[in-house]
Structure 1
Amino acid sequence: MRLNRTLLSVALVVFALVVQVSVLARLQLPGAVPDLLLLVVVALALVYGHVSGALIGFGAGLLADLAPPADHAAGRYALVLCIIGYLVGLARPENGQLKSAFVPMAVVVAAAVGSTLLYAGVGALVGDTAARHVGLGSLLFTAAVYDLLLAPFTVPLFMAIARRTDNDPLAESSSGGGGGVAAGWLSSGTGLRIGSQRGGLRVKAARNRAARAGRIKGVKRL
């Protein structure tokens, strides 16, 4: 990834992890906990694509695995967020611009449900049956609801920050200014007249050079 992408991703992931551990985990809400870390991964994957989404998801999940008070094996949530980041990145549009708010909201719900299922599935493989005692259906419903309620206040903001830092404002302004001047010239007709005059001058100069070269060559033949 680019340096600005890496720095922004690290900053947002650390911020989300601090808020997750110090605030959201202490709300004592029924069922699941609002997953701000997942929303950061979703937002960045929608902007950067599947490769960067997988890398960001793995790093974010690994930090969550190591941050206290983690009660599961290290690497478990890293695997989950790596898969989620990759799959969400595949939904990124070609131009990076989403035309509707329905797409990111649907992606958030799918990511919340998918991450919960993956986390419970990986836990079942390693012998962790906590999801069975809590109730997997309750976890899926509350995770989707909490993340969906939190997403409108976080995902658009994170995506806007990612796009702003990923683009080059100087290149955009120069290209935009040049395009505006050219469009104005073409619309007024001045650019076409100047272009045609310059083209005519170039053609006349080329003909003069060719005529001179022919005369010189003829003299040398004689």
Structure 2
Amino acid sequence: MRVNRTLLSIALVVIALVIQVSVLARLQLPGAVPDLLLMVVVGLAFVYGHVSGALIGFGAGLLADLAPPADHAAGRYALVLCIIGYLAGLAKPENGQLKSAFVPMAVVVAAAIGSTLLYAGVGALVGDTAARHVGLGSLLFTAAVYDLLLAPFTVPLIMAMARRTVNDPLTESSSGGSDATSGWLAAGTGLRIGNQRGGLRVRAARNRAARAGRIKGVKRL
């Protein structure tokens, strides 16, 4: 089952990164760029938890750091998504299903703002002041708006695919089927035993009647 999780996570991260670089980054939207990679990390963390969310976030961020046309130090976005994946995983519901849309939307907004602040903060530590020239306020606002608009179309789908690797329908159906089958077999066995007992009684009565008939017939002869 962990193999299925790993394969799904890698596939979603690669697809999201390709769309991010080839489509979303070329839209020339004002301010920030819609972060599909962040949606993948948040959606998987909602299902897999904080530990897996941190690992997926680190791997996704490192891949984004190395993918062209990256213009920043390697490991910068990996650190950001690792922290975001860990914190988003803490909001994982106990049953793996969200009861309302408020919690995931609030987490998405917090992740968008938090990732932008972390990215700018780490950049300031390494001497990258690009956020100052663009305007941090506009980046925060546009990042929250774009990711909030993108989330309803991506996060539920990602969570649905992730749940299929957590709850194996074949295992559940086989276990449920075995329980149901065992119940049916138990009921059927009891019925079969009852029928067998009733049949034996009827046969015994018929045998006694046949014997009596044979004896009477002999006597009548």
What TM-score do the two structures reach when normalised by structure 2? Answer: 0.81
Show CA shifts across 1:151-201 (max 9, x none).
Answer: 111110011011113322221102333455678899xxx69xx5xx9xxxx
2:141 maps to 141
Paired letter, 1:127: G
CA pair 185-119 structure 1, distance change in 2 beyond 3 A? same
Gap regions ≥5 residues in structure 1? 198-222
What TM-score do the two structures reach when normalised by structure 1? Answer: 0.81
Matches within 5 A, 1:24-103: 24-103=24-103
1:219 maps to none
Measure the CA separation in 1 of the matches of 2:86 and 2:51: 6
Show CA shifts across 1:81-124 (max 9, x none).
Answer: 00000000011012211111211111111100110010011011
CA RMSD of aligned residues (A): 2.3
Paired letter, 1:160: A
CA shift, 1:75, in A, is: 0.3
Measure the CA separation in 2 of the matches of 1:62 and 1:166: 25
Per the alignment, in what secondary structure is the counterpart of residue 95 of structure 1?
coil
Computing the radius of gyration from Cα coordinates, the structure with the larger value is: 2
Matches within 5 A, 1:1-222: 2-180=2-180, 194=190
* Structure 1 residue ranges (4+ consecutive) displaced by more than 3 angstroms after TM superposition: 178-186
Measure the CA separation in 1 of the matches of 2:98 and 2:48: 13
CA pair 101-180 structure 1, distance change in 2 beyond 3 A? farther
Paired letter, 1:58: F
Instruction: State the percentage of identical aligned residues.
Output: 86
Provide the aligned length of Structure 1 versus Structure 2: 193
Per the alignment, in what secondary structure is the counterpart of residue 30 of structure 2?
coil
Measure the CA separation in 2 of the matches of 1:154 and 1:114: 19
Per the alignment, in what secondary structure is the counterpart of residue 31 of structure 1?
coil
